[in-house]
């Protein structure tokens, strides 16, 4: 004859009540984990402040057409203008990492600004032939091969 361990006397309906606290604890932990992930995904990036024009300085010249740079379209140009980059020399002075932060803050994750400062330096100096030669080796602003 088998000895009883104590579980045989508990009805099957009561056995399930042992799992309810476990389920509640596990769902609470899962909720905390997901809430932490949601907060990290929705944190906003700090705005990047660029040099402002002082009141005593002359008014800025007409804005450059940044869409002449391979990889910059009208939407990206608008994002750069909103962040204060309106001239080729400003774009040439910016680092690719800084440009990537500006784009990410605007929700653009696809653009690759790696070659934009190099192209902008050529455009700012008026070296249009050099710019065309560089752009012939690019596709969407990225180096080919």
Check residues 22 and 115 and name the one with the higher pLDDT: 115
For the chain, give the number of residues.
145
- What average pLDDT does the chain have? 80
In angstroms, the Cα distances linking 54 to 51, 58, 73 are 9, 9, 29
Check residues 25 and 2 and name the one with the higher pLDDT: 25
Using only the alpha carbons of the chain, give its radius of gyration: 29
* All domains of the chain in start order, with CATH: 14-38 (no CATH), 68-143 (1.10.150)
- How confident is the model over 101-121, as pLDDT tens digits? 999 998 888 889 999 999 999
Please give the pLDDT value at position 51: 54
Q: Own/partner pairs for 117-122, CB < 8 Å, 24+ apart?
A: 117/91, 117/92, 117/93, 118/92, 119/69, 119/70, 120/66, 120/69, 120/88, 120/89, 120/91, 120/92, 121/88, 121/92
Q: Above 80 in pLDDT, residue 76?
A: yes
Q: Above 60 in pLDDT, residue 55?
A: no
Give the global pTM: 0.58
Q: Above 50 in pLDDT, residue 8?
A: yes
96: helix, strand or coil: helix
- Residue 123's Cβ-count burial label (10 Å; 0-12, 13-18, 19+) is buried
Could you tell me which residues come within 8 angstroms of residue 68 by beta carbon, excluding any fewer than 6 positions away?
A: 123, 131
Share of the chain above pLDDT 90, in %: 44
């Amino acid at each position: 004859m088998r000895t009883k361990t104590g579980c045989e006397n508990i009805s099957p309906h009561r056995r399930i009540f042992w799992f309810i606290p476990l389920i509640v604890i596990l769902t609470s932990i899962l909720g905390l984990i997901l809430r932490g992930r949601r907060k990290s995904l929705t944190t906003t990036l700090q705005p990047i402040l660029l040099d402002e024009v002082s009141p005593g300085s002359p008014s800025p010249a007409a804005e450059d057409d940044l869409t002449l740079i391979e990889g910059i379209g009208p939407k990206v140009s608008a994002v750069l203008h909103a962040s204060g980059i309106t001239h080729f020399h400003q774009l040439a002075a910016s680092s690719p990492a800084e440009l990537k932060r500006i784009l990410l803050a605007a929700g653009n994750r696809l653009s690759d600004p790696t070659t934009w400062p190099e192209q902008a330096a050529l455009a700012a100096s008026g070296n249009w032939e050099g710019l065309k030669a560089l752009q012939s080796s690019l596709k969407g602003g990225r180096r080919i091969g």
